[in-house]
Structure 1
Amino acid sequence: MDERDVVVADSLEGDSEFLRELLAHTSEGMLTIDAESVVVAANPAIERILGYDPEELLGSSKLTIIPERLQDAHLAGINQYVETGEKHIDWTGVELPAQHKDGHEVPVSVSLQEHEYEGRRLFTGIFTDITERKRRERELRERNEDLEEFASVLSHDLRNPLSVAQAQVSLAREFGDEEYFDSVEDALARIDSLVDDLLAQAREGRAVETESCSLQSVAEDAWDGVVTADASVVLPSRTWQVEADASRLRQALENLVRNSIEHSGEDATVTVGVLEDESGFFVADDGPGFPTDVLRRGAPGPEEGHYGLHVVERVADAHGWTVRFTNAADGGARVEFRDVSLSRA
């Protein structure tokens, strides 16, 4: 007996109806084609996976269930095998997209077997729908990416209040003035707030809960949360209210201030203002600006040493704002936030 024969009890030997029932009730789809890629057999599970009644497929090309962009490769592969015996994919199991009757693609795992019946060369594929597995893999991948980003943002953004605390402790030791300890306390509170915010983002996603807050006040808090040395800040002359998550907005502004001082020098001037059409606000500095090649590639990212600007992008996305990295007409980097709900207080 060939090791691939179906083994049945003696009482069922030769019972073709039993074999039909066996194939009809398997959970995997089965599709058999001939050497010309014409479908000669299909079982009922194919309908559950790909939407086609088996009889609809009989006599049709196997291309019926293959996305158009992959059809040439499939035909070339089967023709190559028929002519040379050389396989272009792993027949023991390969993951491929299949075309559902309604037009969408279904991820499937397919194992193939060649066999002969009444002198005809046939190929049977066993189809397993792996949609759920792919969904779980995608969720796991996204969760891992979120955890990696959480760790990166945490390590990056904690440096702002930590630097402030360290600087204030040094001043307190030198001058013995207790007011420096107030600044240390504020920095530690900011660390606590950042940890809570980032944990919430990791657990609940990136959505934000907004409230009306003062752009000037948040900008001042952000300025106090960074070691600014001899740098100076210019704020809007009017009081503006912005609909935002105040803590996340402060996180973005802290990163922009820190970025300006790191790239423009300790005596930089940072300006926070409202766009002329009042559709949003901007943060600009008087430094050298973003390199042209960086702007040509789009928003500066971690690979250019601008991890803080990546954080800024994520904060803007969470609010539904549009963020644009550019250079001011008179020089210096400029970051604009548009589609922002602003109002005059």
Structure 2
Amino acid sequence: MPPHQLPVSSNDFFQTLVENAAEGMLTIDENSDIVYANPAIEDILGYTPDELIGSSKMKIIPERLEPVHAAALKSYVETGNRNINWNGMELPALHKDGHEVPTLISLREHKHDDKQYFTGIIRDISERREREKQLQKQRDRLNEFADILAHDIRNPLSVAQGYTKIAQQEQNMPELEKVSNSLSRIDELIDDILILSKEGQFIGETELVNINNSVRESWNRVETHQATLQIEGDLGDIEADESRFCQILENLIRNAIEHAGKDVTVRIGKISNKDGIYISDDGSGISDSGLSKIFEHGYSTNQKGTGYGLSIVNQIVEGHGWDISVTESNEGGARFEILF
């Protein structure tokens, strides 16, 4: 017997598969009458197959959606135009006890004895919806925390910075410089935490962005001191959220200056034989222990750093669907590689 040949009749084999499928299966004719339901339907909607077969599909459709379902099927039968996504649409179904069940339905059309039928593969997504609700609650709490940072902490912080400047004008005390630096660091921390909590991986509308122009714009937005920028040739274009792409570049440039020194040379070029760019410096590099933690929230080898800059970079990169890694540059410093 050839390896692909079934040991039993095809009809028996496939009938067994359908009857034991974990997903619910429901078949209706062009009049919306249910002609088949598999046993898994009972786990999802509470009805046994016998309770459904022979009845209208409206039996499992919430009343408010009945006109929509009826019109959609009628329109397709008459015109052949699909006005819904057959490969997976989220719709509520009516359980036998009256409550609504969130489901994901995929549709297929087929003919038998010259009659038209539609089979839906039905999955219960109640657990997924519940997880989404919990995640939304967490995001809401995080946004609330961010609002507190932006308002309730920044106000007294601004007052403290103002009085510190007045004190520095009247008193030449090194301690006041330390106070001012600490207040500035708090301000930077608030900025970074707001970005992480409010924006995170969110990517807005994308467009074709010229990388060379973005590099130059980002360089001009950073306090570069005596640092030098070298752009290695034409870096091409990339489909990206331009504002957030520049944020990646700004944070990586700022990271190089903070860790490699104010006279660092930053090189940005294309990665050979790959679709991506590198941002490297000629500083002292990153220790082996630091490589594994470099993108973690709050990790920094610079006492003046917030430890959030590279974490923000990582989130924006992931939000675009890209990859980022870090290694040693040819000059012994750090080299960040972003693959598009």
| TM-score, normalised by the number of residues in structure 2 | 0.47
| TM-score, normalised by the number of residues in structure 1 | 0.47
